Amino acid sequence: MNLQEIGKRAKAAARLAARLSTNEKNRILRLVADALEADTAALLAANAPDVVNATNDGKNAAFIDRLTLTEARIATMARDMRNVAALDDPVNEVMEMKTLPSGITVGKKRVPLGVVGVIYESRPNVTADVFGLCFKAGNVAILRGGKEAINTNTAITNTCRNALAENGLSPDFIQLVEDTSREGALEMMRLTEYLDVLIPRGNGGLIKAVVENSRVPVIETGMGNCHIFVDASADLDKATRIILNAKTQRPGVCNACEKLLVHRAVADSYLPAVCKALADAGVELRGNRAAADICADITLVPPEAAEWHNEYLDLIIGIAVVDNLSAAIDHITAHSTGHSEAILTESYANAQTFLQEVDSAAVYVNASTRFTDGSEFGLGAEIGISTQKLHARGPMGLRELTSYKYIVYGNGEVRG
């Protein structure tokens, strides 16, 4: 089906999705979860050729792992969908209602965004996860996954669509774009008549391409060049525990620590210890001149190197010795992607300054940047982590998949 037709169907379905009651949405989500489990054999069968093709194409082991479905992973998709059913429904909440001097009573009512487009890569669980979150927030989803997962994504989408249709609902609450070409992606980015928002999920190149080419409003997600600054007054035992967690607990994700800044006053005493702990955990050490001078295991990275701006997404860390808090904030301001940054300090004043002046989606005192996550922040689930300032910032849950409208109750009022 061409994108115009997909868009038209999505727009029509969005009116229906917005009207569903919370009970009805929850019931359907549980039925779709059941259907995913019931279709396990068919989903695994659809996944097999995708895995074979990707292997033949020479994709690396991590890619194949992300692409591969297992019975356990299908069970997780179903469990996550049931969890979404259990979350509060943000739709129809009325906020800030008040009667104004003219006599009209005005409030803001939370409504679905409408049609949500998502462009992603080859993790098939995204297909089910995005549908669950979009549907619970009263939206319809147009999904465009990676070409390597096309058979798997088609099967998952069909399971969802069949479950919807069997329960008397529009199957078009979820549609998959079959054209996985680059041209198809560009066309999707221009579907302004039908898409209310476009969310790219994937590597930096994918996100950049969407931000630069989309005419549909975009929410930029996920790039995380996250910094931890060890202040002169830091509790150094806590610091090492936090740094190890933030760097090594899951190095391939966007909230992992990529850069370590150390206050000059504690660099001589602390750097050798933290570097040893990181190296023991298998982390490759790179750093600026002052850091390399203190610790011989650190490979020099010149100040102008692009990597001060980039994510490693690997067991590598960039270390810079900085003169003071102000220099740390300047470094972060110059190099951060605006995701997550932490200060480790026992100074009240420095903690407050850092929280105030660092302008990132999540700013921490004395905790691991790994907490930047919808579940950890109490949102229940997330569709992505926004690194832009418009609409939503940081982990985006169900509420961030909504808009609002003003509702006005009058009694014949006119404007004077």
Please give the residue ranges that form the binding site for a copy of itself (CB under 8 A).
15, 18-19, 98, 100, 102, 104, 106, 109, 111, 113-114, 192, 196-197, 211-212, 215, 217-219, 235, 238, 241-242, 244-246, 249, 333, 355-357, 359-368, 370-372, 376-378, 388-391, 393-395, 403-415
Give the nearer residue to a copy of itself in terms of CB position, either 146 or 200: 200
Give the nearer residue to a copy of itself in terms of CB position, either 186 or 296: 186
390-404 b/e (C-beta count within 10 Å ≥ 16 → b): eebbbbbbbbbbbee
Chain centroid offset of residue 378 CA: 15
CA 79 → CA 86, 103, 149, distances in Å?
A: 11, 49, 21
**Distance from C-alpha of 315 to C-alpha of 252, rounded to nearest angstrom:** 8
Provide the minimum distance between the beta carbon of 415 and a copy of itself in the complex, in angstroms, as a whole number. Answer: 4
For residue 343, give the H/E element and its range. strand 340-344
Q: Fill in the amino acid letter for 58.
A: G
Nearest to 66 by CA among 139, 3, 165, 146: 146
- Local structure of 163: helix, strand or coil: helix
Match 């996954």 to its residue by tokens.
145
CA 320 → CA 173, 259, 273, distances in Å?
A: 49, 8, 15
Provide the minimum distance between the beta carbon of 44 and a copy of itself in the complex, in angstroms, as a whole number. Answer: 31
| CB-CB neighbours of 75 under 10 Å | 14
Give the nearer residue to a copy of itself in terms of CB position, either 12 or 300: 12
Give the nearer residue to a copy of itself in terms of CB position, either 211 or 316: 211
Q: Hey, what are 86's tokens?
A: 């259990």
What would you report as the CA-atom Rg of the chain, rounded to the nearest whole angstrom? 24
Give the nearer residue to a copy of itself in terms of CB position, either 96 or 304: 96
Give the nearer residue to a copy of itself in terms of CB position, either 38 or 250: 250
Give the nearer residue to a copy of itself in terms of CB position, either 38 or 390: 390
Give the nearer residue to a copy of itself in terms of CB position, either 306 or 415: 415
Give the nearer residue to a copy of itself in terms of CB position, either 20 or 46: 20
Match 């961030």 to its residue by tokens.
400
∠ at Cα 69 (283, 120), nearest 5°? Answer: 70
Provide the minimum distance between the beta carbon of 114 and a copy of itself in the complex, in angstroms, as a whole number. Answer: 6
**Distance from C-alpha of 289 to C-alpha of 295, rounded to nearest angstrom:** 10
The partner residues of 98 in beta bridges, in order of sequence, read 106
Provide the minimum distance between the beta carbon of 14 and a copy of itself in the complex, in angstroms, as a whole number. Answer: 9
Q: What are phi and psi of 94, to 5 degrees?
A: -110, 130
